[in-house]
């Protein structure tokens, strides 16, 4: 069974600034090999051991604003070209932005709403963050 067949959620590639904070280390990347509602593969050269909790911050830069997706997760795999993170907690605003990002770039946007509803059962969704 391939990784694509095992996945529960549609994944898309995306290029933007990403910060991964694990403990006292913050690493910056400019590429996501893929991202979905349940996790992401961040292109990094640094090693972060599997099982490490982390905070992922993804900047979505638009013509008139800067939106940021913040999501907590655990590193599930570390490879030569990056790390795989399974999402464990996300605030509602970030979840809505992530859903929209994936829907806009997905090959089949019609499946994203069903994936979104399933995702609400698998991750802790917190109230929107106040800034």
State pLDDT tens for residues 108-117: 777 777 777 7
Mean model confidence pLDDT for the chain: 83
Q: Does some domain include residue 64?
A: yes
Q: What pLDDT is stored for residue 2 in this prediction?
A: 39
pLDDT tens-digit readout, 34-45: 998 889 999 998
Helix (H, G, I), strand (E, B), or coil: what is residue 129? coil
Residue 101 domain boundaries: 3-121
Q: Does some domain include residue 127?
A: no
**Whole-angstrom Cα distance, residue 95 to residue 48?**
24
Domain count, the chain: 1
Element (H, E) at 101: helix 92-105
Q: Does some domain include residue 34?
A: yes
In this predicted structure, the answer to whether residue 6 has a pLDDT above a threshold of 50 is no
Q: Does some domain include residue 67?
A: yes
Q: Does some domain include residue 62?
A: yes
pLDDT tens-digit readout, 51-87: 999 999 998 876 666 788 999 999 999 999 999 999 9
CATH code where residue 95 lies: 2.40.10.220
Q: Does some domain include residue 102?
A: yes
In this predicted structure, the answer to whether residue 7 has a pLDDT above a threshold of 60 is no
**Whole-angstrom Cα distance, residue 27 to residue 47?**
10
Q: Does some domain include residue 126?
A: no
Q: Does some domain include residue 60?
A: yes
């Amino acid at each position: 069974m391939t990784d694509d067949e095992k996945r529960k959620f549609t994944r898309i590639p995306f290029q933007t600034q990403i910060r991964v904070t694990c403990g006292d280390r913050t690493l910056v990347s400019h590429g996501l090999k893929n991202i979905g509602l349940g996790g992401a593969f961040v292109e990094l050269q640094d090693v972060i051991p599997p099982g490490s909790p982390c905070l992922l911050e993804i900047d979505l830069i638009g013509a008139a604003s800067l939106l940021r997706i913040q999501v907590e997760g655990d590193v599930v795999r570390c490879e030569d070209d990056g790390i795989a993170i399974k999402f464990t907690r996300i605030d509602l605003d970030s979840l809505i932005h992530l859903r929209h990002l994936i829907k806009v770039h997905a090959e089949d946007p019609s499946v994203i709403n069903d994936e979104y509803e399933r995702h609400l059962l698998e991750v802790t969704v917190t109230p929107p963050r106040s800034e």
